Amino acid sequence: MQQGTSLLPDSQDRAFSVVLELFAPSGLKGVILAGFFVSVMSTVSALSNSIATIFSLDVYKKFIHKNARDRELIITGQVSGGAALLISSLVAPLVGNIGLFKYFQTGVTYMATPFISVLLMDIFWRRTSYAGAIAGLMGGVFIQIALAVSLLTADIHLHWLYVGAIAQVLTMLLIMVVSLNTAPPRNEQVKPFLWRMSWISTLEVGAKKRPCWQSIKLWLVLYAIVWCYIYWRFW
């Protein structure tokens, strides 16, 4: 990994190119690179298409122009998709300075925090309301950005997972405060989605008797132990 100079700042970003150079046969390097670029292009295409669809149908048609015609929605989708690609191209130089792996992991952590907070509160707290969930989704993004900017301004260097954990706690507190100050959901609305310990005991009800090594409960326990060990070992 340390042989020669590289434009990439981190060793983890160089792993693919080093492995390709050392282990791939000369006749397959071009094919592998072609497949790599095709996968990148398909991902960019899918993301831009998703952005265009979501913005035109879920934002523009619902909140800006409810009576928009199909042609107007198509143009709106094209403009929003193009704007997303333009913003991405402007951000691309920053990725080169930070490192692709770190940038991707940080971005996913920061963007996923509000959604994870809402899901956990909805599953484990009966009192979570619709207004609290919306506040968590929208306010969580601002909390995450404000926290990251504040730490950067104060010259405090924390691993992005710690920053995400702090933001998640703040987002869950926001959801709790808003939910307690708004109308609670009806019991029939939340009961099917709330996690209960009794669910584990009903996983194999009515199922054919299985050997102990095929028991769902056994594998759930082993799964939890393995993940806890990995989390503890590599944290």
What does the DSSP assignment read for 112-146?
HHHHHHHHHHHHH-TT--HHHHHHHHHHHHHHHHH
In this prediction the pTM is 0.64
What does the DSSP assignment read for 59-122?
IIIIII-TT--HHHHHHHHHHHHHHHHHHHHHHHHHHHHH-HHHHHHHHHHHHHHHHHHHHHHH
- In the predicted structure, residue 200 carries a pLDDT above the cut 70: no
The tokens of 92 are what?
């691309």
pLDDT band at 201 (very low <50, low <70, confident <90, very high): low
Scan for tokens 């703040």, then name that residue. 170
pLDDT band at 189 (very low <50, low <70, confident <90, very high): confident
Half-sphere exposure of 84 (CA within 13 A, CB side): 18
Over residues 68-117, the pLDDT tens digits come to 999 999 999 999 999 999 998 888 887 777 777 777 788 888 888 999 99
pLDDT band at 202 (very low <50, low <70, confident <90, very high): low
When the pLDDT of each residue in the chain is averaged and rounded to a whole number, the result is: 84
* Domain locations in the chain as residue ranges: 1-97, 99-195, 203-235
Q: Is 11 helix (H, G, I), strand (E, B) or coil?
A: helix
First to last CA, the chain: 23
- In the predicted structure, residue 38 carries a pLDDT above the cut 60: yes
Give the pLDDT mean for 188-199.
76
